[in-house]
Amino acid sequence: MTALGATSIRFRVEAGCHDRVGVPVWADVSADEVGRVEAATLVDLATGAEVPVQWERRGDVVRFYWVVDWLQEGGARDYELRVGEESKFTGFSIARDDEAGRLDVSFRGRHILTYNYGPEWSKPHVFPLRGPFGLMVTETEPADHKHHRSLWVAHGDVNGVDIWSEAEGHGRIVHRGFERVARGPVYAELAELNTWVSAEGRELVDEVRTIRVWAPRDEEYYIDFTVELRAAYGDVKLADTKEAGILSIRVARSMTVKEGGGRITNSWGGVNERETWGRRAVWCDYSGEVNGVLVGIAAFDNPLNPRHPTYWHVRDYGLMTANVFGLTRFERERGLRGDMVIRRGESVVFTYRLYLHRGDAEDADVKSRYIDYVHPPMVQRA
């Protein structure tokens, strides 16, 4: 029964041609219809159970998000949104310490990740990053590549400035502030403003980085990772180099192919560095054991990204990066170059999804979870 004064709206979610498992969905409602939303609940009409829901204002609409736990191929599920009703669900918490330059994200009391953005770092980055069962699935500052920072963004030639390595004269990515920090029962999100600068402090490009962590399900969860680069100070040349990764990951040492007997898999069936390095694929997965438990990280390339499907700079020693720039190395026989120029006043956006999962790529059915990402279930008013 809808509470007195609540606005009730019904939605139908249709699976389409695929089984759906733990997939985020959303529905837009005119802000004129629901007004200022301060409370809302969502009910699965088949079971009568309340489902966690979260919302945000996006211009003239309010977008409501939830996660479809399971939906069989060809099936449908009806929900009732009740705007004005208080939900019973707890969810994410965020502890932010600007003096220390760190932001901790937890879900129902369990730590998920820490975002590090203090001035002592050459680049803002995520570490630690916890996967299934709270296991740490990434490494930072490994002995072989001290500039690898767990989960980070970098490029080795930005108008001639190295913002990949931390060698003498390298550039930096400077944290300017947070545009938005949000939390709820469905996701936690931070939107960060950065400026990429030379060693002398010359401003090269502005960045808006958005990281959204979706609520875990059966020890697995997604992270949506978006980077927008804005040419605010003049033209920006992201030059051809393999030393770059708009999305860069260094997996835990025990997960690596080289030292831990791990496994790299891409969407075309390539296995390990020999079959995946410098190859294009819509997703790439790195799996291996941590404390005796097999876990993995899959990275999904969004079809709207420039030069999709991306090339992967992925190594048996533990590196996995989405790199659309290093074509002189990746496509040597074809004589191609991967320079990308952003004209003054323009911008370019890269969007990815990470899937932190149990088992390897086959166990986790990564290929189906990629379909959920690029072709999610249809949501419409019922």
Distances, alpha carbon 251 to alpha carbons 147, 299, 319, 324, 348, in Å = 14, 12, 7, 21, 27
**Which pLDDT does position 4 carry in this prediction?**
53
What is the distance between the alpha carbons of residues 149 and 170, in angstroms, rounded to a whole number? 15
Question: Distance between CA 222 and CA 292 in Å, rounded?
Answer: 23
Helix (H) or strand (E) holding 133: none
Element (H, E) at 137: none
b/e per residue, 131-158, with b = 16+ CB within 10 A? bbeebbbbbbebeebebbbbbbbbbbbb
pTM over 0.95: yes
- For residue 325 the two structure tokens come to 């720039």
- Hey, what CATH topology would domain 7-88 get? Immunoglobulin-like (2.60.40)
Distance, in Å, from the CA atom of 356 to the CA atom of 130, rounded to the nearest integer, reads: 9
Q: Is 267 helix (H, G, I), strand (E, B) or coil?
A: coil
CA torsion angle 153 155 141 370 (round to 10): 40
Local confidence pLDDT in tens for the 382 residues of the chain: 555 567 999 999 999 999 999 999 999 999 999 999 999 999 999 999 999 999 999 999 999 999 999 999 999 999 999 999 999 999 999 999 999 999 999 999 999 999 999 999 999 999 999 999 999 999 999 999 999 999 999 999 999 999 999 999 999 999 999 999 999 999 999 999 999 999 999 999 999 999 999 999 999 999 999 999 999 999 999 999 999 999 999 999 999 999 999 999 999 999 999 999 999 999 999 999 999 999 999 999 999 999 999 999 999 999 999 999 999 999 988 889 999 999 999 999 999 999 999 999 999 999 999 999 999 999 999 9
- Predicted local confidence at residue 33, as pLDDT: 97
> Residue ranges per domain, the chain?
7-88, 92-374
CATH tag for 92-374 (out of 3.30.300, 2.70.98, 2.60.120, 3.10.100): 2.70.98
Token pair listed for 249 = 């990951």
DSSP letter string over 138-201? B-BS-TT-TT-BSEEEEEEEETTEEESS-STT--EEEEEEEEEEEE-SSEEEEEEEEEEE-TT-
Bridge partners for 48 per DSSP: none
- In the prediction, which pLDDT does 139 show? 98
- Contact status, residue 247 vs residue 153, Cβ threshold 8 Å: yes
